[in-house]
Structure 1
Amino acid sequence: MNNFKKPNSSLWQGRNTNANLYLHEKVICADAIKKESTKTFAILSYACDEGVKRNQGRVGAVTGPEAIIKQLAKMPNHLDNNTKLLDVGTVFCIDENMEHAQQTLAKTVTSLLKNNNFPIVLGGGHDIAYGHYNGILNAVEKDKTIGIINFDAHFDLRANTNGNNSGTPFYQIAEDCKANNTTFKYLCLGIRDDANDASLFKTAKELGVTVVKNEDFNLHQSKKIQEQISTFIQSVDVVYTTIDLDGFSSAYAAGVSAASPMGFSPNIALQCLQTIIKSGKLISLDIAEMNPEYDIDNQTAKLAASLVHTVIHNA
């Protein structure tokens, strides 16, 4: 059962200059993953919202990656000639088999990392994180500690007693770490009291999760936040960053599976991203919960695309 499609070049459209001034002119739609000798960013799509459906959320994120790519394509290209930008294709979900999609995602991420690519995975539900993390786990040396930094309103630490979904990925990772006697390192930025019940805060405390709550996640607290991020990064060998768009206020991100006006702003997120990038330990990133069904004037897709634009031009 093949659940991987080659990239769709028709998504990469924009102003034509014949001088690579825009990303749609820079991108290469790759037929296969190859060993890269220069800096290479690889866009990988995860077209799956089965986890959102299982978690009783608003479906529609299955088309999220396409919406992000369409906005990214039109953005200016400031990459040097030696830096590559690839679209390597789409992992999708067949017959509601989210676990198979996660396995394919993991294998693809592993292949990208082992071939000197920087993966940027576009989702799709936040179940993207379990597949993405396992792809990193299988690519890095066994003695390396992976630090997860999650920009999110939610912990996504729900127990998977009744099955896996978009709210269980970090609980699943924690359970795997426990079984393998490895360290679970997890930093959450933007956690809201009104988006997590008491049992989730209890689980986070028991697992030693580092938490910056939403009321403290703003530019007024910037210095303290950057110190917390730096301290966390110093305790790990590599960093995997995941950005759940529902962490942003719906003023900026209405097109998500669980929107709220109470989220954080792009300014603090961008500042934190710069801190993470400057550490030199960031090796992979994803963006989750882009739901075009509820977007307004493509604002959420544009936000997601701008986040990707920031990463590829600074990492």
Structure 2
Amino acid sequence: MSKQTISLIGVPTDIGAGHRGASMGPEALRVANLALRLERRGLQVVDRGNLHGPINPWQPPTDGYRHLDEVVAWNMAVYTAFHQELSAGHLPIMLGGDHCLAIGSITAVARHCRETGKQLRVLWLDAHSDFNTAQATPSGNIHGMPVACLCGYGPQVLTELGGSAPATTPDVFRQIGIRSVDYGEKQLVREANVGIYDMRHIDEEGMKRVMEQALAGIDENTHLHVSFDVDFLDPSIAPGVGTTVRGGPTYREAQLCMEMIADTGHMASLDIVELNPAFDKRNQTAKLAVDLVESLFGKSTLIRR
């Protein structure tokens, strides 16, 4: 059997964010030795370098959206790169960049699923539900809108990035670690019936039970996409993000989450986003992210049966 090929795709932009600095995320992950650590797991890793797109003009919102044209350009680049890797049978990893870029990666994954007859499941590991619309958020920052856009709520240039219809429906998402949802957004996620396992749910049920629920129904015909926003983690262990929210998963809870995803054997694409070295301490958040990504690819304390 040939080795699984992992393709690293750097996307150095903070075009959708409210703070500058996520554009440095891809390099921080490389400095933390992501490729080498995955190669040690027996994987074949190809670093495709960085995608290119417009610079961040750092302007206020226009008609409710900040930098919409630039966000579309970056997401089209991600969409094209991701679809190319998936079509070649590779497992693409997006080194972000901010979370608006998941519009491009997941639109590509959804297209790949339609082409191969697979069921899509998206695990959204994040402090935020990212289901905002221009009407629900005054900031206009599109990194708070990707799930809404993927489900058809948002500007047509993003909701129909890969064709003439929204990429996905809310039922494909399982959101884990949520602890910050804007006032207007609460109504939106409720009406859309997004599967959300917030921190209270994790506190009450425990990470093991939550992951069993979130992963239920995954089988041989499932393409599992993991969208890992580093602010999913508690800021005490992961300070290097622009939008910290206290009360996130601990190191052990995060490890268990990743190990249980690995146990399914069905993760087929990954985003690592919102790592912001400008807020980090000696690259510790990037190192932690790489540590957790190793666990996504099967690193464990013991050899498990």
For the criterion TM > 0.5, the same-fold answer is yes
- Aligned counterpart, 1:118: 91
Is the alpha carbon distance of 1:191 and 1:38 closer, same or farther for their aligned partners in structure 2, counting shifts above 3 Å? Answer: same
- Aligned counterpart, 1:89: 49
The question of 1:250 aligning with 2:235 is answered: yes
1:141-185 residue CA offsets vs partner (Å, 9 max, x unmatched): 344332211111100001146967111110000114994596431
- Aligned counterpart, 1:103: 76
For residues 37 and 234 of structure 1, the distance between their equivalents in structure 2, rounded to whole angstroms, comes to 22
Q: Aligned match of 2:290 in 305, 308, 311? A: 305
CA shift, 1:71, in A, is 0.6
CA shift, 1:77, in A, is 4.9
- Aligned counterpart, 1:16: none
CA shift, 1:114, in A, is 0.9
CA shift, 1:310, in A, is 2.3
- Aligned counterpart, 2:175: 188
- TM-score, length-scaled by structure 1: 0.78
**CA-atom RMSD in angstroms:** 2.8
**Paired AA for residue 30 in structure 2:** I
For residues 197 and 76 of structure 1, the distance between their equivalents in structure 2, rounded to whole angstroms, comes to 37
Q: Aligned match of 2:149 in 167, 172, 194? A: 172
1:192-243 residue CA offsets vs partner (Å, 9 max, x unmatched): 1xx2123212211111211111133359713321321222636983211111
For residues 103 and 259 of structure 1, the distance between their equivalents in structure 2, rounded to whole angstroms, comes to 28
- Aligned counterpart, 1:146: 120
SS in 2 for 1:241: strand
**Paired AA for residue 54 in structure 2:** I
SS in 1 for 2:142: coil
- Aligned counterpart, 1:207: 192
SS in 1 for 2:113: coil
- TM-score, length-scaled by structure 2: 0.80
The question of 1:46 aligning with 2:11 is answered: yes
Give yes or no for contact 1:237–1:281 (8 Å, CA) kept in 2: yes
- Aligned counterpart, 1:158: 132
Is the alpha carbon distance of 1:86 and 1:181 closer, same or farther for their aligned partners in structure 2, counting shifts above 3 Å? Answer: closer
The question of 1:197 aligning with 2:157 is answered: no
Instruction: Count the aligned residue pairs.
Output: 272
Q: Aligned match of 1:78 in 35, 40, 49? A: 40
Is the alpha carbon distance of 1:281 and 1:75 closer, same or farther for their aligned partners in structure 2, counting shifts above 3 Å? Answer: closer
**Paired AA for residue 169 in structure 1:** P
For residues 167 and 183 of structure 1, the distance between their equivalents in structure 2, rounded to whole angstroms, comes to 17
1:58-91 residue CA offsets vs partner (Å, 9 max, x unmatched): 21000111001101257585333xx311111112
For residues 309 and 219 of structure 1, the distance between their equivalents in structure 2, rounded to whole angstroms, comes to 28
For residues 182 and 136 of structure 1, the distance between their equivalents in structure 2, rounded to whole angstroms, comes to 10
Give yes or no for contact 1:239–1:283 (8 Å, CA) kept in 2: yes
Q: Which moved more, 1:228-237 or 1:165-174?
A: 228-237
**Paired AA for residue 170 in structure 1:** V
**Paired AA for residue 86 in structure 1:** V
SS in 2 for 1:138: helix
CA shift, 1:249, in A, is 1.2
Give yes or no for contact 1:78–1:313 (8 Å, CA) kept in 2: no
Instruction: List alignment gaps of at least 5 residues for structure 1.
Output: 1-35
- Aligned counterpart, 2:59: none
Aligned residues: percent identity?
Answer: 26
For residues 13 and 278 of structure 2, the distance between their equivalents in structure 1, rounded to whole angstroms, comes to 14
